[in-house]
Every structure is written in structure tokens, then in C-alpha cells.
Amino acid sequence: MNIFIRENDSKDIFDTLSEKLDTEKLKKDLKEVFKKVYNNYVGYYLFKDSGIVYKIFVLPKHIDLPQEGNQHQEQNAIRQLLGYFKIYYELKHKYDKLYTDGNKPLPSFYEIAFSSQNKESKAQDIQDIEEFAFTKYKYFLQEIKKFFDTHKTHKRVKTAYISQSVKYKLNLLANIKEPNKSKIHQEQYQDVIYSNIATIVYGAIKLFLQQKIEIVDKDRKLKKEANNLKNILLKKYKVDKSFSLSVHKLINSKTYKHFKKQKEYLALYSNVLALFGIENFFEEDDRKELNSNIKRDALFIKPDLMYEWYVYDWIIRKYCRAKKIFNIDFSIEKDEEQIYIKSKYNKKAYEIAELPKNKKVSSRSSEPDIVILGDGKKVIIDAKWKILEDLNSDDKASANPKGLSMSDVLKLQRDMLIHEANEAFLVFAGLPKGIDGREYGVSYFGEIDFRFKLVEIPIYL
């Protein structure tokens, strides 16, 4: 069953879903979906109940909701959603250095699969969610297998050895107790292939087969891959067949310590986590939202963050045009780059002080999305993941969510003042016809106190 919801929908969509689902029974699943909806995430959430697979799609506001039962519109909406995934992970992979502190272990499957440099990836051509889910889990299983194709570790194991001649270290206690003095008890040490990591991964594969695979393996091809990997681990390593694992055990510190010392081990750990939908474990936000319900498949992204990267990327790609639009001559050469996102140039502190002593009460920071420097000028840009349909504004954005928000304008004015910028721009994914590039002003006492321009940079899938 396909269910479509629009990002940050203001309608009472819970009532809509109540008509189709047992909302009391599925309360935990729906709670997670709605938490994403109301926090401006987009993506999908798949789960199975009573033999029915439910697919809930949270669409970007730019994608039209399909009419119920119209398969063509539904497939088109899903293809467009996958298009947003592609853009998001291409940009995330491309600008990794701009938003991490350097401690992120390795790019995720999505970054690799959707990278514009990856000419062999079939992810670029995927048309539906089932194919997308199959492709990603097959990738995780294959990457895990690649690791164990070359991974070798040993440990010394002590075993009992009895003969009539001495070959190994004597076991004095056993010989004293032995009534048959022709038997000489000894202690033999052997090197055997063993790996704690293999044991943990074996438990993870068992858990994947038991609880996760049924909702993502439509044609039972993944089950064959997973069983093959499980048998390889059993054959190659001395793995305890009875070893079991839960998601909470998988992410605890005792398990993590086996993987954290080497980069290739961290890559393996990331792929194992990905089998249970927690591949973003190393990102702080995701750790707070770990869900022990692994009988589901989900992927959500933040489109507002994606749009910041998109605008930044657009300015670099359309360099000559961007110089005219933003009225500044700047460099994009690697060693002379003058356009910044998520950098020290984007952030400036200011303080709130108690008067007349000028005693600091608190400190805040001003951080426009993009800062451009060049030709003795500074330009600040705020990228808005919004299709602006109306210039009419209100003190409360909720009064006219499709109108120009006065809070956005006032924030831009504050940022311009603090950063001592020459010009300020609000960039939208869509603007009413005829106003792209126009200048507007804020007047407090009859005179224009603040000027800014509106610019349209649409996303093309």
C-alpha cells in the first residue's frame, strides 16, 4: 500500500492515515514518520504488518501529490523523490570537506552510488523503491564479503593431547590423576583462524535474515547472498553458531571497540550497521534517533540542507552568470577561493549585554548560508528551500506559509549588519513570475533602511 504525504504538511494528515491504517497498532511506526514530516525531512518509510507492506512517502513540497490509485502519478512521484536523493548524495559526496570535522570514517553507500564520478553505478537509473532497497542491501552484503575475502586473523588455542611419548608441554595435574601410566597427558597449542569481528558479523547476518530481509527482498535474491556470506564465515572462521546479536548490542561500546582502531574495520562496521538502517550512526543527529525496530526500511534527507549545497554548487558551476547576478567579482580557483559555506567566514559572534554596565548576558552567532568575498566587497546569501508564491508577509510565517517571511528578511538584515556586507540576497527555489533579481527595501520611518534582492535558483531533476 502506497501512502503519500507532503513535507511539513499543514493538514491533519494523521486523520487521513487513520482511515487506512490501524494507527493504534502501528503507533510507533507512524510516530517516527510524523517526527520526520514535521521537521522538514523527506524520504520513505517501509514496514510490514499482517502480511501487508506499507510504503509511506514524504515528498518534497515541489512534487505534486499523486491522486489516490493513479499508478502513473505515483511512479512519477517516486522517481522524482529518487531524483532528490541523487542530488543530495552527489552534493554530499562532492562537498564532504565543507560540513564535516574530518572525523567521518568513510562515504556512505548513497554518496558512492550517486556520485557523479561513479560511472558504473546502477543507482543512477533506479526507478522504484523496491529496486533501490534491493540495490543498496546487495551492495552492503557484497562490501562485507569483500572484507572477509582478505581478512585473516589467528589465535592460539590450547587443546588436550594424549600419547605414549612426549611431544608437547606436560599437564602435571592430569598425569597425576591418570591411572594408566602409559598415557601421557600433554597441552598442545595450535594457531587457528579466528576473528571476533567475524563472529559479530555472523550474528548480524543472522539477525538480518531473521528480522529484516522479508521486507526488502521481493524476489528472495538477497536471502541467497546473505546465506552465502553466513556460510563463508562459518567455514573460514571458528564462529560460534549459537552466537546471537541485537541492534543494541551491535551499537554498544563493547562491540564498537573491535572496529574502531583501523579504517577498514570502521568501513566494515558502517556496512554492517547499514543492514539495519543505521548507516549514519557516526553522525550525531542519527545517534539520538536510533530505532530498535529493524523490521522496516527507511531513508530520510533534509532538503533545506541540500538546497544550501545546491545553491553553492550552482554559483561555482555558473560562475560567470553568478558574478552578474550577485554583483561581485570573485575567484573560485582552488587556492584563491572566495566563496564560503559552513566556514569561519560564515560565522560571526555578537553579544547581548546588561546596561549600563555593559555586562555580557549571552552570546549568539550570525551565520548566513553563503558568503562571497571579492573586489573589496562582501555579499551574503541565504538559501530558502521554498517556492515563494506571494510577496505578502505577516509577522507570523504560519499565517502565510507561501509568502515572504518577515523573519527571514530581518535575519538577513541582522546578518548584513554584523558581517558588514555590501549586499544581501534571499535565494528561493521558486519565485512568482517577473520578480527574479528585483530589489526590495525595508522602511521603518519613511526611508529605506535595508535593501535586499530576491533571486530564483530552481532545482532541475
Residues 139-172: pLDDT tens digits? 889 999 999 988 877 666 677 889 989 888 889 9
- Is 399 a residue whose pLDDT tops 90? no
422, 378 in Cβ contact below 8 A?
A: yes
**What digits encode the pLDDT tens for the residues 298-342?**
888 889 989 999 999 999 999 999 999 999 999 988 767 799 987
How high does pLDDT run on average in the chain? 82
The mean pLDDT value for 174-193 works out to 84
Cα–Cα distance between 108 and 163 in angstroms, integer? Answer: 55
- Residues whose CB is less than 8 angstroms from the CB of residue 417 and which lie 6 or more positions away in sequence, other chains included: none
DSSP-derived 3-state class of residue 68: coil
**What digits encode the pLDDT tens for the residues 229-245?**
999 998 888 788 888 89
- Is 104 a residue whose pLDDT tops 60? no
DSSP state of 211: I
- Is 397 a residue whose pLDDT tops 60? no
Place of cell 521481493: 218
The H-or-E segment that residue 159 falls in is strand 154-163
The pLDDT of residue 40: 79
Alpha helices, H only, 293-405: 303-317, 319-325
**When comparing pLDDT for 186 and 294, which is higher?**
186
pLDDT classification of 7: cutoffs 50, 70, 90:
confident
- Is 454 a residue whose pLDDT tops 60? yes
The H-or-E segment that residue 45 falls in is strand 42-49
pLDDT classification of 117: cutoffs 50, 70, 90:
very low
Cα–Cα distance between 282 and 293 in angstroms, integer? Answer: 19
pLDDT classification of 74: cutoffs 50, 70, 90:
very high
**When comparing pLDDT for 334 and 77, which is higher?**
77
